[in-house]
């Protein structure tokens, strides 16, 4: 049984798969960035160690975009769970071509979501990953990472609005039923959510045109759960990154 872990700036997503890629467990936790060794020693012991016995975990694979957590977390997983594991980096995926000015700059999240998409959908594809930041990546029909777009995420955008214009009310992250606002809160919610939704739609369409081929569009990430009904042309895949980790592990172990 494989333990896949996605460490993002806001959340940690844990998903366990059997050897047939059947999801056996999933959970989401807050990412803590202070007192890393002390906190995650307790957290792994409490949250993950019981899973090892219950699901017969024999290996793990980690994706992290939080450098101050990555190495300590990886070592703690091996020490506490006493199983072998891999860290998702470009060195782990020798067959993945990355057309960036500095290929080594690519994040583990971009690598993993690319493999998750490739395993399920025809290429080329555009992946919209809505997390702390909203990231869109373009994968060519030959499974080449062509590049991407990064913009402030939904929560960051909301918090910036309140921070820079203090007299405005705090709003919730939900999509209002109508675009035209009838009061300040409604107007702010509409601007935040429909503005973000239409940004994703518009940027994805521009990227698809640059790929010059019929393009699959995929939606994932924590905030995708809120907006996916408003993006019907996108395939909704809440665990795309973890599925990508499964695919990378499968290739490295030739399962």
Query: For the whole model, what pTM was predicted?
Result: 0.94
Q: Do 66 and 137 have their domain in common? A: no
Supply the CATH number for residue 44's domain.
Answer: 3.30.420.40
Q: What is the pLDDT of residue 8?
A: 95
Position 253 in a domain: no
Q: What is the pLDDT of residue 166?
A: 87
Please name the residue that has the structure tokens 């080594």.
Answer: 104
Active-site amino acid positions? 109
Note down the domain range covering 62: 2-87
Position 195 in a domain: yes
Q: Do 150 and 230 have their domain in common? A: yes
Q: Do 152 and 73 have their domain in common? A: no
Q: Do 158 and 229 have their domain in common? A: yes
Q: What span, in angstroms and rounded, lies between the C-alpha atoms of 125 and 141?
A: 8
Q: What is the pLDDT of residue 254?
A: 59
Mean pLDDT, the chain cut into blocks of 10 residues (255 residues total): 96 96 96 96 96 95 96 97 96 93 95 97 98 97 97 95 89 96 96 98 98 97 97 98 97 71
Pairing of strands 144-152, 133-139: antiparallel
Q: Do 135 and 234 have their domain in common? A: yes
Phi/psi for 84 (5° steps) reads -85, 155
Q: Do 133 and 217 have their domain in common? A: yes
Count up the domains in the chain and report the number. Answer: 2
- What residues pair up with 134 in beta bridges, in sequence order? 130, 151
Position 8 in a domain: yes
Q: What is the pLDDT of residue 66?
A: 96
Q: What is the pLDDT of residue 253?
A: 73
């Amino acid at each position: 049984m494989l333990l896949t872990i996605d460490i993002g700036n806001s959340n940690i997503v844990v998903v366990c798969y059997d050897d047939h890629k059947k999801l056996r467990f999933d959970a989401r936790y807050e990412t803590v960035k202070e007192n890393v060794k002390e906190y995650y020693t307790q957290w792994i012991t409490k949250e993950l160690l019981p899973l090892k016995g219950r699901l017969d975990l024999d290996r793990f694979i980690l994706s992290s975009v939080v450098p101050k957590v990555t190495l300590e977390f990886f070592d703690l997983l091996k020490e506490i769970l006493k199983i072998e594991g891999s860290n998702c980096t470009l060195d782990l995926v020798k067959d993945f071509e990355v057309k960036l000015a500095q290929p080594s700059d690519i994040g583990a999240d971009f690598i993993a979501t690319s493999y998750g998409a490739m395993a399920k959908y025809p290429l080329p594809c555009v992946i919209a990953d809505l997390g702390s930041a909203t990231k869109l990546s373009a994968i060519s029909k030959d499974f080449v990472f062509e590049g991407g777009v990064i913009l402030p995420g939904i929560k960051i955008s909301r918090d910036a609005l309140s921070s820079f214009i203090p007299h405005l009310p705090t709003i919730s992250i939900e999509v209002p039923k109508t675009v035209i606002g009838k009061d300040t809160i409604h107007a702010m919610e509409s601007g935040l959510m429909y503005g973000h939704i239409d940004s994703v739609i518009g940027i994805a369409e521009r990227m698809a045109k640059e790929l010059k081929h019929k393009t699959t569009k995929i939606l994932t990430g924590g905030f995708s759960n809120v907006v996916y009904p408003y993006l019907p042309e996108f395939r909704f895949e809440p665990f795309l990154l973890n599925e990508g980790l499964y695919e990378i592990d499968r290739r490295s172990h030739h399962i």
